Structure 1
């Protein structure tokens, strides 16, 4: 079992939540990643904002760790694989091509998100399938936008959910997974992203925060307790 994971029951199906901000379906051996926003640093620099390079390389290294831990047959990006048109420049695409070559046997599917539409078409040489939401896979309806889909449980992204942990004198925002009756939302995978606070979300029945390389239940349904993985 991968370190830094927490296995939960999502609509009757096991789902492993990773401290690397991704989720793994052990029955279908599929890894789900939301909002990678590869090349966001390149987009900022193309607009004259002097942010440092390296965000894409770091995120791809974390993907390598997830692949080594879970050995998935498929990886599904839940939208916003790329950040913008400048993400198609060689700086980002070459890094993605090198990463893809290391994992040529893994099927990779991208559910198109709003940033992907703005960025443009991926080079066919990357071997990444592009699909529209909802993409049905096992018990899941895989989407970019959180929504309800009849007959399936939705896994989505787009929101970049974060949870605020506060004391009387301080507060910190950490990425989180949030799950409602019909839809679960993954945190943004990309390190160079913002977040939307979900502490008071009325449609959320469970929240799992990522902190100190662990996934921690901060709000949880009592009927289906999570299982801490060793």
Structure 2
């Protein structure tokens, strides 16, 4: 299995070549597009606003992870598949200041957010971030970019929302890893955010599953 590991796994979806990245994102070379699901900016700040003592630094971790990918790939735009902001409390001054500083370092990039369920409660990010906000499905042929995987459209759906994890087992030991789920009609991306958690999934018949360690991504045999 280790021989099949790499930092990116190629996949053909609706006739288009995409790369499933070990860093829990998808890259579409033809459009020079980086696709990210469920980054949940400000989630830790939202928890702290409720009195839950969680560590800081997640905004910097998220922007730093994006910077790594922007440096590795030729990126003209980033498309976020919903849950960009976690809650209204995510609009904390320190969180927004860090996001603005990051955005100003990448003025050439187009950024698009497909609104998710958390965005509906959090509200749109400030206009100063220069991010285009759209509703699902957001069509860029042959794909329909969505937050929810179950949106019915006559296009191949790329979505998030689920935060999928897969349990790898070896004897008595097991490990939960983020994963990509690919079928004939849709692909579900793992959550990108540094403080998001996840839900265990089992691939359905005909569904391909790729797990990522953060450093490598590989397909789990059916």
Write the distance in 2 (CA, Å) between the matches of 1:24 and 1:156. 14
Structure 1 residue 148, shift from structure 2 partner: 5.1
Matched, 1:42 2:37: no
Structure 1 residue 71, shift from structure 2 partner: 2.3
Give the CA RMSD over aligned residues.
1.4
Matched, 1:12 2:12: no
Contact 1:178 1:204 in 2 (8 A): no
**3-state DSSP class of the match of 2:30?**
coil
- Structure 2 counterpart of 1:190, from 176, 193, 207: 193
Matched residue count: 217
Contact 2:116 2:147 in 1 (8 A): yes
Deviations 1:193-226 (A, max 9, x none): 111111x232651000002500111046xxxxxx
TM-score when scaled to structure 1?
A: 0.90
- Structure 2 counterpart of 1:210, from 194, 209, 212: 212
Contact 1:112 1:131 in 2 (8 A): yes
Deviations 1:154-175 (A, max 9, x none): 0000000111011222211100
**3-state DSSP class of the match of 1:27?**
helix
- Structure 2 counterpart of 1:166, from 160, 164, 169: 169
Structure 2, unpaired ranges of 5+ = 1-5
Aligned to 1:65: 68
Deviations 1:138-163 (A, max 9, x none): 31100000025443110000000111
Contact 1:19 1:211 in 2 (8 A): yes
Contact 1:205 1:219 in 2 (8 A): no
Contact 1:140 1:153 in 2 (8 A): yes
**3-state DSSP class of the match of 2:31?**
coil
Contact 1:160 1:186 in 2 (8 A): yes
Q: How does 1:50-61 map to 2 (within 5 A)?
A: 50-61=53-64
**3-state DSSP class of the match of 2:196?**
coil
**3-state DSSP class of the match of 1:43?**
helix
- Structure 2 counterpart of 1:87, from 83, 90, 94: 90
TM-score when scaled to structure 2?
A: 0.93
Contact 1:28 1:138 in 2 (8 A): no
